[in-house]
A and B are shown apart, each in its own frame.
Chain A
Amino acid sequence: MIDWEKTNNRLDKIDGRTIFFLTVCSCFITFLSTSMLNHALYTIWLLLILCFFGFLKQSLYFSSFYLLSLIGLIIETNHNISFPSPLLLSMIYKLILPAMSAYLLIKIPSGKLTASLRKIPIPNKFMLVLIVMLRFAPTIIYEFGEVKEAMKIRGFLKSFTNIFSHPLNTLEYAIVPMVFRSLTISDELAASAIVRGIESPYNKDSYYISIITYIDIILLLISTLLAVYCCFF
């Protein structure tokens, strides 16, 4: 068992379920809160959590994007400006909140996250797909970048006319390598998981201790109260 008391990383001491709960709360606030002020309040709370876990630089990035899109949206709606689209700005500022909690979720070691989420009553296979999807997202975004670079070098992305005159070809050149690379990664992940005994029918234990500590309780309490306030008041 890994004794997280001896490590300095605060995120390692937190239970995966707490961060999962934070993600669910931020998603609910994003879609249920009708007030910008309430949304901003919960965003500040998550920024504080990010800082608490040592992600200062990331919290700065998130807050500047949030502020820029929010100010842009306020200016556009007050002066009836339609470019860039207010809907797009609204989507950006609203999605930053779940993105922050998802970032924390991604930063938790996958073994620890699996151990924590195993305690939530979700069917094991659904849970596995969700965890793999969560882990896969940054890899896929990176792979998209690689494929784009390769296409640029080979001259497939020379101009908009080139792309729009052969849209299906461009799509094919982008998607085929993407699928090949993703399937290779997924096979490697599957092999690694099988070697670790994921398909074993017996009860599984983990190297990671998954218990709710006082930090979890404080985070859960404040997050729940704030979420209720932001959604319903």
Chain B
Amino acid sequence: MEKSMQNTKQNFTIRDIMTIAAMMVICFIIMMIIAAITLPFPIIYLYASAGIDGFLGAIFFLVAANRVNKHGLLFSWAAIYGLIQGIMGYAFLIPYFLIVASISELSMIGKNTYRNPIRSMIGWTLNCIGNFVGCAVPLWWAWNSYKDMAKSSGFTSQTLNMQLSMVTTPSFMLAGIIITAALTILGTLFGQRLLRKHFKKAGIVR
């Protein structure tokens, strides 16, 4: 009986699922708005959009993490992101995002890690870095077909060259990863502040 109760505690309840879904929807809507705003500025779009997503998304992730506090949350978050990418045409990205999801989830091993500010920061940062690197996968996968698609979509050759140099030059990729990590860490710090200031006081999260 006790064992079954423990198992139930470990599984996601329907309330947890609804919380994750609600926070993920807001996160995705914000990601789409960020993409639309940053698209006209290729440098920001290429190097910082994943970081900005990580900055803003951190708040929603932290709310979900502190509320749910169960293992598998970060895996589900990243896997659903990959699944949506797959539905949107990048089916070959699904295994990649499953790997990112597993690595991020592995960083959360331990008791009550989802309520630990440092561990949540590490997990979320790994996930966002994975998202940034994920942008390069379609280009590594099939540069020629990507180039055709991009040219018909209004990409200028300057933007395309910038994209190619970003994904083929390790130092540029490293710069992108550092920018993403820095913005994501700042986002988790801001998110932690909001958690303490509003959500913990209101009793929404512990």
Taking CB atoms, residues of chain B closer than 8 Å to A193 are 14, 18
Could you tell me if A129 and B40 are in contact, using CB atoms closer than 8 angstroms? no
B74 within 8 A of A: no
In the complex, the 4 A-B pairs of residues with the closest C-beta atoms, listed nearest first: A31-B89, A86-B154, A85-B40, A132-B21
B15 CB to nearest chain A CB (Å):
4
A189 within 8 A of B: yes
- When chains A and B are docked, how far (Å) is the Cα of A30 from the Cα of B90? 10
- Give how many A-B residue pairs fall within 8 Å (CB-CB): 141
Could you tell me if A133 and B24 are in contact, using CB atoms closer than 8 angstroms? yes
The interface bits of chain B over 162-177 (1 if a CB of A lies within 8 angstroms of the residue's CB, else 0) are: 0000000000000000
Within 158-202 of B, Cβ neighbours of A (below 8 Å) are at: 159, 190, 194, 198-199, 202
Could you tell me if B145 and A34 are in contact, using CB atoms closer than 8 angstroms? yes
The contact size tier of chain A is 35 or more
15 A-B Cβ contacts within 8 A? Answer: A32-B89, A73-B154, A86-B156, A88-B39, A90-B153, A125-B12, A129-B76, A133-B28, A137-B25, A144-B29, A171-B190, A175-B194, A183-B22, A183-B63, A190-B18
* Chain A residues in the interface with B (C-beta under 8 A): 23-24, 27-36, 73, 76-77, 84-91, 94, 98, 125-126, 128-130, 132-133, 136-137, 140-141, 144, 168, 171-172, 175-176, 178-180, 182-183, 185-187, 189-190, 193-194, 198-199
- Count of interface residues, chain B, beta-carbon cutoff 8 Å: 50
Taking CB atoms, residues of chain B closer than 8 Å to A31 are 88-90, 149
A186-B18, A190-B15 given; A89·B154 CB < 8 A: yes
Interface of chain B, helix or strand or loop or mixed? helix
Could you tell me if B152 and A180 are in contact, using CB atoms closer than 8 angstroms? no
A175-B59, A175-B194, A180-B204 given; A91·B39 CB < 8 A: yes
